[in-house]
Structures are given as C-alpha cells and as structure tokens.
C-alpha cells in the first residue's frame, strides 16, 4: 500500500506544480505597438513583432490587417491555454487593433 500512496502523492505534486497562477485576469492582458509580418515558417502565417522585440502570434488577426510591414497598436489577451504548430512567440487573442502612421 505504501507504493500506491507514494505514487498518489507524486501525481498530486506534479498537478499542483503546474498550477502557477498564470491565468490571473490582470496578467493576461497586453497592449503594445508593433509591426505585422509574414513568417514563411511551416505553412506561413502572420505574426506581430512588438517594438520591444517580443513576437506574438494572433489567432484572430482581421484580414484588413494581414499586411506585411503594417504598423499597429494592439490590445490582446494572452492565450497560454493554446498551442500552435508555428511555435512563434506568444499566442494572443486580439481585442482591439488599429493602424499606426
């Protein structure tokens, strides 16, 4: 019975180690300026490279903003609950986007 108890404790420890609080609502929102860019990785996709160097992969970039080199201002929600085959930057869900001059 001791091995079963030990195994159960290890499973619980692994579970709680994965609960690091990354999903707190205030931590999930970002606002940044950046440049839309076409990435020819895998099947190809549009990403947004923020001015601070962080790359973002939007899951809902509107078609009218899918223009390589377009400067944009973005408000978005970080989607840490998703994964992508592109493996580029942080996945975001755009809540607001506008063109910059």
Question: What digits encode the pLDDT tens for the residues 46-79?
Answer: 999 999 999 999 999 999 999 999 999 999 999 9
Within-domain flag for 8: no
Within-domain flag for 17: no
Within-domain flag for 92: yes
Within-domain flag for 3: no
Sign of the alpha-carbon torsion through 67, 71, 76, 82: positive
What's the pLDDT tens digit per position in 4-37? 655 555 544 444 444 444 555 557 999 999 999 9
Within-domain flag for 46: yes
Number of domains in the chain: 1
Within-domain flag for 1: no
Q: Note whether 74 and 62 are within 8 A (CB).
A: no
pTM of the model: 0.73
Query: Is beta strand 55-58 parallel, antiparallel or unpaired with respect to 90-99?
Result: parallel
* CATH number for position 92: 2.40.50.500
Per the structure, the complete domain to which residue 56 belongs is given by 22-99
pLDDT of residue 26: 54
Within-domain flag for 11: no
């Amino acid at each position: 019975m001791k091995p079963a108890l030990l195994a159960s404790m290890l499973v619980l420890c692994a579970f709680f180690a994965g609960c690091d609080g990354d999903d707190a609502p205030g931590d999930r929102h970002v606002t940044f300026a950046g440049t839309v860019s076409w990435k020819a990785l895998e099947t190809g996709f549009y990403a947004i490279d923020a001015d601070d160097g962080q790359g973002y992969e939007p899951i809902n970039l509107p078609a009218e903003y899918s223009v390589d080199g377009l400067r944009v201002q973005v408000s978005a929600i970080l989607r840490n609950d998703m994964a992508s085959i592109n493996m580029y930057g942080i996945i975001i869900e755009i809540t607001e986007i506008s063109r910059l001059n």
